[in-house]
Structure formats: C-alpha cells, structure tokens
Amino acid sequence: MKRYIAELVATYFLVFCGTGAIIVNNETSGAIMQVGIAISFGVIVTLMIFAYARISGAHMNPAVTLTLVALKIHPRKDAIPYIIFQLAGGILASYTLLLLFPNDEYLGASLPSGTEQQSFVLEFILTFLLMLVILFTSQGKKIEQYFAPIAIGLTVLLEAQFAGPICGASMNPARSLGPAVASCHFEHLWIYFAATIPGALVAGIYWRWQRIESNI
C-alpha cells in the first residue's frame, strides 16, 4: 500500500504543478509562457523520481507501468493498483486546481491545436522517446541510473517545450484524464490513451531488441 500511495502522491504533484503552470499562465495573461510550463513539467518529474523512485519506482504514468510489466521488470500484480492510484492522483490534483481556479474552463487539459491525427502521431513519437530514455537510463549501469531522474525530466521538458503548443505533449494518460474529468472536456481524451500506451509498448519492444543485439 505504501507503494500505491507513493504513486498517487507523485502523480498528484506532477499534475498539480504541470497543469497548474498552464492554468496560472492563462490567469496571468502569459506570465509563465510556454518555456515556463515546460520547465514546470520537467522539474516536477525530476523531483518526484528523486523522491519516490526507491519506494514505488515513480512511474506516475499508466503507459510506463504497462510497459514495465510487459517487459517483466515490474510485478504484474501491481499493474492494476498502480494504474488506479495514478489515475486517482491525477484526478485529485485537477479537482484541487478546480477549487483554486474555478473560472478556468479547461484546467490544463490536453488539447490538440491542429488535427487529431497530427496529435496522435506526435503523442506516439513523444511517448516512444520518453519510454526509451526511461529504460536506457533506469535499467542501465549504476552511473546511468543515478542520472536517470535528470535525463527523464529533461526529456519531458524538451518534449513539452516544442510539442506542447501542438498536441499538449501529455505522454501520460493520468496527466490527461485528471483535467478532462474535472473540466468535463472529454472530446479529445481518446488520443492521449490510444497513442501513449502503444508508443510506450513499442519503445519497450525496441529497447529489448537493442539490448539483445548489443549484448547489454
């Protein structure tokens, strides 16, 4: 249960700080700007991994959990509880933000600015890259594992910076579900489940093949 609560808390702060930055940016007429939003997401991911990696692994992402289970890195029995607590953390964070900013219509929801097809492809690629960085650092040598939180956080920052204005750069069903539930905007939510989970799983398949081919 401590691991499940850790996932809830870590995901809560990921969504609270990340989407909170989007909301505050809207409330202050762009005071934070896109680069500030990207930094907020990257930094909170880094901090939560440093804080909770030893307790739960700090997945904070159902797509990551499913991939690690599929690769037999994470216990299968923990898959459903992890995902439930991750989704709950995201929803709780969004309702907290709703209480603080009741006039914000979307509450930092993941929304495509172009076509749904464009955002689907972007989210697939972004999640693929993020999962690759997670696997190659967290499952690498000890020195690579030490720098894993920074590498993962920088990946999130990079992707949020250049792709956020187009597709939202979610890479995470829990990050997208919370604002959708709290704001009641479900119209594009399917993208952030249908693209991110396969993107992470394909990255896992590639990572396993690369390790076998390279004898790592």
| Exposed e or buried b per residue across 116-134, where buried means at least 16 C-beta atoms within 10 angstroms of its C-beta | eeebbebbbbbbbbbbbbb
- Topology classification of domain 2-214: Glycerol uptake facilitator protein (1.20.1080)
pLDDT of residue 213: 72
Close Cβ partners of 34 (under 8 Å, ≥ 6 residues apart): 161, 164, 165
Q: From residue 17, give the alpha-carbon distance in Å to each of 23, 42, 202, 212.
A: 10, 10, 29, 38
Angle between helix axes 2-27 and 79-100 (nearest 10 degrees) is: 30
Helix 2-27 and helix 33-56, axial crossing angle in degrees, nearest 10 = 170
* 55 C-beta neighbours (distance < 10 Å), count: 14
How far apart, in whole angstroms, are the C-alpha atoms of residue 82 and residue 184? 24
pLDDT at 143: 75
**Residue 69: what residue type?**
V
pTM comes to 0.95
Digit-by-digit pLDDT tens for the chain (216 residues) are: 899 999 999 999 999 999 999 999 999 999 999 999 999 999 999 999 999 999 999 999 999 999 999 999 999 999 999 999 999 999 999 999 999 999 999 999 999 999 999 999 999 999 999 999 999 999 978 777 889 999 999 999 999 999 999 999 999 999 999 999 999 999 999 999 999 999 999 999 999 999 877 766
Domain boundaries in the chain?
Answer: 2-214
